[in-house]
Amino acid sequence: MVFAATALTLYPEMFPGPLGFSLAGRGLREGRWTLETVQIRDFATDKHRSVDDTPAGGGAGMVLRADVLAAACDSVGYDRPMLAMSPRGRPLTQARVRELAAGPGVSILCGRFEGFDERLFEGRPIEAVSIGDYVLSGGEMAALVLLDACVRLLPGVMGAASSGDEESFESGLLEYPQFTRPVEWEGRTIPEVLRSGDHARIAAWRRQMAETDTRLRRPDLWERHTGVRVSLPLARGDEDWDEQT
Ligand code: SAH
């Protein structure tokens, strides 16, 4: 079963866009995932082919019509999860990305203007998904973000590079910091422990750094991970590595 993606959009030319490059692009060319686009405008019914109208109750901008969107979604069907990108949606998580990547694929409705007529979500099995607490001008880039996150998990797309388990969020923590040669750069050296060849010590150091950085940078994640509320951010350096290990 190949992961099948369909983007419903007013701008099909935006796909695959960045997903045509690097590992995702190679995966696409190798048939490890597929991508189709559906032009929402093809489902407009009036002679002007309009997909939007002014907001009920007044206000700025235009709202995408439920009837046109529903017809576009119905044409794709609901065998795969149908997502609609929206800042009002459920925040995307790595856990949800894993679930989606393990499934048959995904259909993604991309908004524009002021977004969707809310009745769409009552009348069709569509899940609104947000990629973060900021507002984009359209759902296409949000859809590309979601797809990129899914596609990199597919078998054969990243190969050995995608070890997965230790990456940020996989364990509920941020990943530990990474370093590479040169050993010294502008007077800063790679932490000694990473050059020690002592795998147990390296693993312990990485675990500690992942915890410290998560606690410091993302108290929200830390709280979820440990069930412990962080009141004051703790600075790195509270732990002395060479003494502890
Ligand atoms: N008026 C809307 C924003 C519309 S932005 C509101 O305030 O909620 C236009 C489109 O961009 C949306 O329909 C959605 O498809 C996309 N979009 C914007 N921000 C997004 C986000 N954080 N996550 C996912 N999609 C987003």
Instruction: Report whether residue 90 contacts ligand 1, using a CB cutoff of 6 Å.
Output: no
pTM, entire model = 0.92
Residues 137-192 pLDDT 10s: 999 999 999 999 999 999 999 986 655 677 899 889 999 999 999 999 999 999 99
Instruction: Report whether residue 123 contacts ligand 1, using a CB cutoff of 6 Å.
Output: no
Q: Ligand 1: which of 136, 144, 146 to mutate, judged by most atoms within 8 Å of the beta carbon? A: 136
Residues 40-60 pLDDT 10s: 999 999 999 999 999 999 999
Q: From the CB of residue 54, how many other CB atoms can be counted at a distance below 10 Å?
A: 12
- Residue whose CA is at the smallest distance from ligand 1 atom 10: 138
Ligand 1 centroid – CA 131 distance (Å): 9
pLDDT score of 238 more than 60: no
Ligand 1 centroid – CA 152 distance (Å): 24
Instruction: Report whether residue 134 contacts ligand 1, using a CB cutoff of 6 Å.
Output: yes
Q: From the CB of residue 217, how many other CB atoms can be counted at a distance below 10 Å?
A: 12
Going 227 to 91 to 124 to 83, the CA torsion angle's sign is negative
Mean pLDDT over 102-127 rounds to 98
* All structural domains of the chain: 3-151 (3.40.1280.10), 166-240 (1.10.1270.20)
pLDDT score of 12 more than 50: yes
**From the alpha carbon of 64, which atom of ligand 1 is closest?**
13
132 a known binding residue?
yes
Ligand 1 centroid – CA 236 distance (Å): 37
**From the alpha carbon of 84, which atom of ligand 1 is closest?**
15
Mean pLDDT over 11-28 rounds to 98
**From the alpha carbon of 135, which atom of ligand 1 is closest?**
19
- Residue whose CA is at the smallest distance from ligand 1 atom 1: 114
Split at pLDDT 50, 70, 90, the class of 243 is very low
Ligand 1 centroid – CA 124 distance (Å): 19
